[in-house]
Structure 1
Amino acid sequence: MDNYRYHHELRVRFSEVDGQRIVFNANYLSYLDLAYSEYLRRELRVSGGMPSTVLAKSTIQFRQSATFDDVLKIWVRTVRIGTSSMTVEFTITRDGEVLFEAENIYVYIGEGGKPAPVPEAWRQTIEAYEQGR
């Protein structure tokens, strides 16, 4: 997938599909969450996996349904880091065909459960990774 450096692969399980054997729509957000966690843990080596972030907004676009036993690639990239938020894009493909696209905005949470600036070390790590350094 162009302009993406990371993807997580998974096979659709029977428990994730409905009576028509297509992925129940809410499961796509779980797929994004899993891929984002793996992106942070495996590629960015953020200790402890998911840092203190919350999902503030998700914009999704369904193109085609995934079905039972499909092997999906969930592509992940951070496209913007603001003061306290990050915009992350996702594309889910099956055999190179786009099934689903999403843009999530995550807000970094500091002590007391309030939005806080993204830590500078984390910002530098993400920017360096996405720029191929």
Structure 2
Amino acid sequence: MSEVFAHRLRVRYSECDQQGVVFNGHYLFFYDVALTEMWRALFGDWARMVEQGYDLVVAEARIRFREGARFDDVLEVSMPVARLGTTSMIVRPVFRVAGRLIADGEVRHVFIDPASKAKKEMPPQVRSVLEPYLDGSAGQAAGASSAPQSP
């Protein structure tokens, strides 16, 4: 079984809309926080990656909403890596509260040269670290996980 990184965060009041649920636009922000924490756990500081001559940008994102997370919920964002291409990778985030599926989706990232912004081949050391996280089934939330963060 492959590993799946998961990050937990607590929903803040300001992230909720007038219906009392998390405003849909925040899910991509939550994903970005989880990706940054996954990168930190696996590779270290994001700035170090840029200094080494590569960066990662979002090329495409899709989120499917199932149920609304609410203020003070602890939201777990699982980060199964679905595909490692030559210049890109796909992550299929799964958002859960107390085991309930809240949302899921797919985000395609492209590796670029930070100076020219041109596509760049995924560094071999990145590929080798991400391969154990490669899993096409986005429904599992096992493996490494970071502690909940306070609001």
Partner of residue 47, structure 1: 44
Greater RCO, 1 or 2 (C-alpha within 8 Å, sep 6+): 2
1:57 CA drift (Å): 0.4
SS at match of 2:119: coil
8 Å Cα contact 1:72/1:93 also seen in 2: yes
> What are the ranges of 5 or more consecutive residues in structure 2 without an aligned counterpart?
50-54, 136-142, 144-151
Partner of residue 100, structure 2: 97
1:92 and 1:4 mapped to 2: Cα distance? Answer: 17
SS at match of 1:117: coil
Number of residues of Structure 1 aligned to a counterpart in Structure 2: 129
Partner of residue 75, structure 1: 78
Whichever residue aligns with residue 99 of structure 1, its letter is I
Deviant stretches of 4+, over 3 Å: 128-132
1:4 and 1:101 mapped to 2: Cα distance? Answer: 18
8 Å Cα contact 1:62/1:101 also seen in 2: yes
1:121 CA drift (Å): 0.9
2:80 and 2:133 mapped to 1: Cα distance? Answer: 10
Partner of residue 129, structure 2: 125
Q: Which of these residues, 109, 112, 116, is aligned with residue 109 of structure 1?
A: 112
- Give the RMSD, CA atoms, in angstroms: 2.0
Whichever residue aligns with residue 15 of structure 1, its letter is S
TM-score by length of 2: 0.79
Whichever residue aligns with residue 46 of structure 2, its letter is G
8 Å Cα contact 1:91/1:100 also seen in 2: yes
Identity of counterpart residues, as a percentage?
Answer: 35
1:57 and 1:130 mapped to 2: Cα distance? Answer: 19
1:104 and 1:15 mapped to 2: Cα distance? Answer: 25
2:89 and 2:124 mapped to 1: Cα distance? Answer: 13
Whichever residue aligns with residue 121 of structure 1, its letter is Q
